[in-house]
Amino acid sequence: MIYRPKIPRKLWDSWLFEWNGAFHLFFIEIIGSDFDTIGHALSKDLLHWTDCPSIPFKGKPGEWNEGSTCTGMVVRHEDRFCMFIGANRGDRQVIGIYFSEDLDNWTPCDDNPILEPIGQYYLTEPAGPQFPKVDWRDPFVTYREEDQLYHMLLFARKPEWNHDDTGAVVAHLKSKDLINWDVMPPLDADVSSFYHAEVPELFEMNGRYYLLFSTCSMYGVKLNTPTRFDTIGTYYMVSNSIDGPFVLPDEYMLIGAGGGKMTAYVGRTIVFQGERILYHHVQGDVQGLRGTWGIPKKIGVESDGSLFLKYLTMMEKLETDIICEAVNKVPCFDVMDLGDWQRDDNVIVGKAKVCGSSCRITRDVSDIHLDCRVKCLAGAQAGLVLRSADGNGVQISLNFERQQIEIGMARKDAKCQLGWGADIVQALNGGGKSLYCDVCRCALQYGKEYQIRCFARDEHFEIYLDDRWVFTSVLPEANKIGDVELVVERSEAVFSNLRIAQIEPLP
């Protein structure tokens, strides 16, 4: 929800490269159904982007890169830029390298492809209906001072697999010159319970090493974490050594979604202003969405080494106007139903013992940054609705009954199509149900104040709880403009520290 290319271009996997104070965003570019080019955009602040000409990478029929283009990466070596790029060559994937002096114009290496599936450690031939294409993609390249060699990680499969082991591995290679590579055994990271381990990345934080990779709940593989079911996203493993062994933490999804939804995908990292941040793309499940480059997030580390994502305050640079900066300055205060709502200079209190109720606090807003604190004293749930209009809205709820945070489309007349949520009454003359977009289990406590931070930009919604990332959701059915409402259901809740700002629309 930060950047999307102009129609008819669509954005998929991305990789960032910083040079001379500017960020170059490269991404798999889709036009129609073709993966023929790499998109390119430029930014000084990671928030405002300028489109650059697309870079053609697909070859002619019979050439090594005649198939669709795959994910890449840029490094600098011997006073020039090197872009590793993948391609589908018949029934196998291969990797080539291109060179540039200016990051705009790229020349292929004469020895392309520089890497094909090789070695006794990795599958090199198609393997029937299970794996009809040889996986060998998504190179991640770094230079290690300790051995003065370049190291590459990529997704591959080992020659053996069975019903207990998908064969997925993170391949490891070494090189002095980026052209000639020695094939090593796979990285000591057991990813065999995942269908694949796409776009691997390795980095160090606070003395520990972290391996990122992206994958899906698919083909019967179900990735259930302590907080979500049936997940798709970017996951991580941790080790005390750069060479492993890497192990999964309890909550191993770093960003993504539950319910089998693909939203945030292919998380990668970069150091920005001295801190490591995660970036990713956002792709909804609905055909026709262009895909966007998502909101960057700071990576936080717990004392036990587990990771989480934090809100970056630089997002406030997108704000244009302040709609409301305190409870006593809300543009309106309209009770929509039988609930009891009271306010003073500091708080708004909502009560509805046996039903749902809401209070409208703004009218006709679209792209906003909302920050507010919610304290539920007793009962079922409390939260807010964004862009409420014509019996529809996007609801974010702290559900104390179910001990979870929820986001979904609240509709006056809709049935709960997924069959897994409680009815959520949400200010539309009473009654109504929610179509859940995502759910995250969380230990919620009565009487504790929680900060809810929301970004709404076009069809994209991102939610933080106490400034920790919770949801990145795509809701193309949401209204483009509507009201903001505070909501209680069979509960009493206190709302305070309310701030709403208009933000720049998504180009």
What 306-310 contacts at long range (C-beta under 8 Å, 24+ apart), as own/partner pairs, is 306/238, 306/249, 306/250, 306/251, 307/205, 307/210, 307/236, 307/238, 307/249, 307/254, 308/468, 308/469, 309/254, 309/255, 309/278, 309/468, 309/469, 310/467, 310/468, 310/469
- Is residue 237 within 8 Å of residue 246, measured between CB atoms? yes
Enter the pTM of the model: 0.93
Q: What per-residue confidence (pLDDT) applies to 424?
A: 37
DSSP tag of 246: B
Amino acid found at 501: A
DSSP tag of 318: G
State how far the Cα of 398 lies from the Cα of 406, in Å rounded to an integer: 7
- In order along its 507 residues, the chain shows pLDDT tens digits of 899 999 888 899 999 999 999 999 999 998 877 788 999 999 999 999 999 999 999 889 999 999 989 999 999 999 999 999 999 999 999 999 999 999 999 999 999 999 999 989 999 999 888 888 999 999 999 999 999 999 999 999 999 888 899 999 999 999 999 999 999 999 999 999 999 999 999 999 999 999 999 999 998 899 999 999 999 999 999 999 999 999 999 999 999 999 999 999 999 999 999 999 999 999 865 555 678 999 999 999 999 999 999 999 999 999 999 999 999 999 999 987 889 999 998 999 999 988 888 999 999 999 999 999 999 999 999 999 999 998 789 999 999 999 999 999 886 533 332 221 233 333 323 334 445 689 999 999 999 999 999 999 999 999 999 999 999 999 988 999 999 999 999 999 999 999 999 999 998
- Is residue 235 within 8 Å of residue 229, measured between CB atoms? no
State how far the Cα of 95 lies from the Cα of 320, in Å rounded to an integer: 44
Domains plus CATH for the chain?
Answer: 318-503 (2.60.120.560)
| DSSP code per residue over 121-142 | TS--S-BTTTB-SB-EEEEEEE
Mean pLDDT (the chain, rounded): 91
Q: What is the per-residue pLDDT across 85-126, written as a single tens digit (0 to 9) for each?
A: 999 999 999 999 999 999 999 999 999 999 999 989 999 999
Task: Work out the angle at residue 48's Cα, subtended by the Cα atoms of residues 299 and 294, and round it to the nearest 5 degrees.
Answer: 40
Beta-bridge partner residues of 98: 83, 108
**Count of Cβ atoms closer than 10 Å to residue 467 Cβ:** 15
